[in-house]
Amino acid sequence: MQSLFPKKYLLLDIIATILILCAAAMVFLYAPTETNMGLVQKVFYFHVAYAWVGMLSFVVACAFSIVYLSKKDLRCDLASEAAVEIGLVFTLLAVGSGSIWARPIWNTWWTWDPRLTTTTIMALVYIGSMFLRKSIDDPNKRGRILSIYCIIGCASVPLTFFSIRGYRSIHPVVIGGASSGMNMTPEMLQTLIFSVIAFTAFYLALLAHRYTYAKVREDVEITKLELEDMDE
Amino acid sequence: MSEIPDTTAYLIAGYTLFVLGTAAYIIYLTVKWKKIVRLKSEQADLLKRRQQH
């Protein structure tokens, strides 16, 4: 099993899996079908959860970057690397699912609405961060530059979150705002909240695995250098 | 009373994206993990052999 996944996170993996299955059951069996949009509205529960995890992950990356800059602890840079990668995956899936929802509702796959535009900018900022990480070999220099980049890049998160509140947007406002809650019934709201909790647990499990991978990779790099020194 | 629009195809597409996207990332992580664990074990063997010589 060691070659497949680290065992120490097994409990977290099981909890996250159960929560996601329960969230899926709530979406399909508990939450009612919305009368104006039909079944496609059910994409919304996971879409919001994915978007939430994406933004949360970038904030987490920023927090680890701040700690790295103050303590120079390489583990914080590795955690930041893990958070950025996961955040990007979730953001891209949220954008993709949003586009599928938009086709029957807005009659278009894509529009340059403030929310969609700022989300694209946020995703591009973090794609840039991943390219930058690959381009720097020195771990200390890489950690320092990437931490500053992540802290500045984190400004894209509140920009994305508040874009539908400060500007005229056709994107629905789930929390706060005139169309708050999208006229959700209590069952819909409970399903949404449960989905967000389930995917947050899943995020923590993924972060733990991705961080462990990064840590092992660093150990391998160090051993590789030691072996090269022994050869010389 | 207005009829509920049939948007089932989009629901299926949305959840297919969630499942396939998430599964692809988990598979990507698993492959990377297996590769690094194998490399680490090879390095440990190499170190052991060098220390014996």
> Mapping DSSP to helix (H, G, I), strand (E, B) and coil, where does residue A34 land?
strand
* Mean pLDDT rounded to a whole number for chain A: 90
d(CA A109, CA A100): 7
Radius of gyration of chain B (CA): 24
A183-219 pLDDT per residue, tens: 788 999 999 999 999 999 999 999 999 999 999 999 9
**Smallest Cβ distance to A40: which of B7, B29, B32?**
B7
d(CA A68, CA A134): 18
Please tell me the number of Cα atoms within 13 Å of A228 on its side-chain side. 6
Could you tell me how many residues make up chain B?
A: 53
Reported as a pLDDT band with limits 50, 70 and 90, residue B1 is low
Angle at CA A58, nearest 5°, toward A53 and A63?
Answer: 120
What residue has token string 């409970």? A190
**Smallest Cβ distance to A38: which of B7, B33, B50?**
B7
Stretch (H or E) spanning A141: helix A139-153
A39-64 pLDDT per residue, tens: 999 999 999 999 999 999 999 999 99
CB–CB contact B25 A89 (8 Å): yes
Residue A1, pLDDT score = 42
Q: Which of B3, B6, B8, B18 to mutate to test the interface with A (most CBs of A within 10 A)?
A: B18
Domains plus CATH for chain A?
7-227 (1.20.120)
State ipTM. Answer: 0.89
In this structure, what token pair is assigned to residue A84? 């950025």
Give the gap in angstroms from C-alpha A117 to the nearest C-alpha of chain B.
20
A69-126 pLDDT per residue, tens: 999 999 999 999 999 999 999 999 999 999 999 999 998 999 898 889 999 999 999 9
Domains of chain B, residue spans: 25-53
CB–CB contact A37 B7 (8 Å): yes
Q: Which residues of B touch A (CB under 8 A)?
A: 2, 4-8, 10-11, 13-15, 17-18, 21-22, 25, 29-30, 32-34, 36-40, 43, 46-47, 50
Angle at CA B15, nearest 5°, toward A41 and A188?
Answer: 35
